Amino acid sequence: MKIAFTLALGAITIGLTLPCAAQTPVYTLGGDGDWATTETPTPGSNEAEIAEARRLIAIGEFKEAERLMDTFIDRFELTDSPWLPHAYLLRGDARLGRGNEYRALFDYEAIVQNFPDAPVFVDAIERELDIASRYVNGLKRKFLGLRIESSRLLGEELLVRVQERMPSSGIAEEAAITLADHYYERRDMRLAAEMYGIFVENYPESEHATRARVNEIFSNVARFKGPAYDASSLVEAGELIDDFQRRFPAEAERAGVTVGLASRIDESAAQQMLDRARWYFRQKDEPSARFTLERLLRRHPRSTAAQIAIRTLEERGWLDDAETLDDAVGDPTDPIDTTEEPAQ
């Protein structure tokens, strides 16, 4: 969706003024790659002005094209001219060509908000997506002629707007994966996990769906800060791993979403529950501690934490069938040291 100002903008018609001609013929790029004359606007007409602006943009005369469209918009801004949205698009393109992408956004927004049925509506959305992608990838806004002002938040907002304005479209799909990847690269794992989940739900057959599923898993794993913190993201990751391995076993193996990863997640979640039981002991809340240890055994029976839980339950006379559970989880280790610092 990058805008190539040295070529025609998509399939938009471009007027080419011949040196010796009094009229401005309009050419359309056909499917075979050849230019064909479609019509010749009447000299001095609104259509001829639009065609001239397109020609100027095509040859890189952005300043002149912007000046021409400034005059056109000033004349027709308060009218219902069908060429007004085209003028906004062309002025935005001229500004974009001059490196003033922020000012160009005002023209594209004018189309999106005021001309939803215009033939250039999708073009305006595409331009905004292109600018948003540049912003989240590090392009700074100009300030006093220098690119020193961060535009990341604006880029994120634009990517959300694109999805809202053209839901379920290819443009929205690109905006969604761009935003998810942006959060992932910034290590904002909460938003990355959320955005990848939204992407998979909305575009399950996308070419990016497998990568989105894998990154959603890794994002949830990375959100876990340790046993003293909330482990809900690990639970989510475990469920995602089970689903991914069941539905896409080959892709799971290639991506490293294996039994080994699931085991590490299981160990971390079990350790978090063990830490919670330790906290209950320190609060003299033995019923809650016992309940937590028993739930740990049910949820994570083969973890190292489960072995410690068994010995703790045995030591306090809370486990009647310890031998059977020992066989299930392996050799138990030492019971909980209830003098440990409490979990947070």
Q: What is d(CA 52, CA 42) in angstroms, rounded to the nearest whole number?
A: 12
Q: Say which residue the tokens 């190539």 belong to.
A: 4
Q: Domain for residue 22, yes or no?
A: yes
pLDDT of residue 18: 33
pLDDT for 96-117, tens place per residue? 999 999 999 999 999 999 999 9
Whether 330 has a pLDDT exceeding 50, the answer reads no
For residue 84, is it within any domain? yes
Backbone angles phi, psi at 22, to 5 degrees: -90, -15
Position 224 pLDDT exceeds 60: yes
Residue 324 is predicted with a pLDDT of 47
Q: State whether 264 and 135 are in the same domain.
A: no
64 within domain boundaries: yes
Q: Which of 139, 154, 172 is the last residue of a domain?
A: 139
Q: Give the tens place of pLDDT for each residue, 156-213.
A: 999 999 999 999 999 999 999 999 999 999 999 999 999 999 999 999 999 999 999 9
**Cα separation, 181 vs 2, whole angstroms:** 19
Where do the H-state alpha helices sit in 36-169? 46-58, 62-76, 84-97, 101-114, 121-136, 152-165
Q: How many domains does the chain have?
A: 2
The answer to whether residue 212 sits within a structural domain is no
Question: Cβ(192)–Cβ(184) under 8 Å?
Answer: yes
Q: What is the mean pLDDT of residues 9-35?
A: 45
Domain final residue, candidates 119, 139, 159: 139
Q: How far apart are CA 151 and CA 128, in angstroms?
A: 13
On whether residue 150 sits in a domain, the answer given is no
What are the strands, taking DSSP E only, across the chain?
A: 14-15, 26-29, 35-39, 141-143, 146-149
Q: Which residues contact 40 (CB under 8 A, 6 or more apart)?
A: 23, 24, 25, 26
More confident residue, 271 or 163: 163
Q: Does 33 have pLDDT greater than 80?
A: no
Of 95, 110, 139, the position where a domain reaches its end is 139
Question: Torsion over CA of 60, 66, 67 and 68, rounded to 10 degrees?
Answer: 90
pLDDT mean over 109-134: 98
Mean pLDDT of the chain: 84
For residue 277, being part of any structural domain is answered with yes
Residue 310 domain boundaries: 258-344
Quick check: is 211 in a domain?
A: no
Q: Name the more confident of 35 and 292.
A: 292
| Two structure tokens written together for 84 | 């007004």
**Residue 44's domain is classified under what CATH number?**
1.25.40.10
The 10 Å CB-count burial string (b at 16+, else e) for 219-253 is bbbbbbeebeeebebbbbbbebbeebbeebeebbe
Give the per-residue pLDDT at 24. 53
Residue 48, helix vs strand vs coil: helix
Other beta carbons within 10 Å of 78: 8
Q: Which of 16-25, 54-63, 155-164, 216-225 has the lowest mean pLDDT?
A: 16-25
The answer, yes or no, to whether residue 91 has pLDDT greater than 90, is yes
Residue 8 has pLDDT above 80, yes or no: no
- What's the Cα-to-Cα distance from 302 to each of 107, 191, 195, 260, rounded to whole Å? 61, 32, 33, 13
The answer to whether residue 133 sits within a structural domain is yes
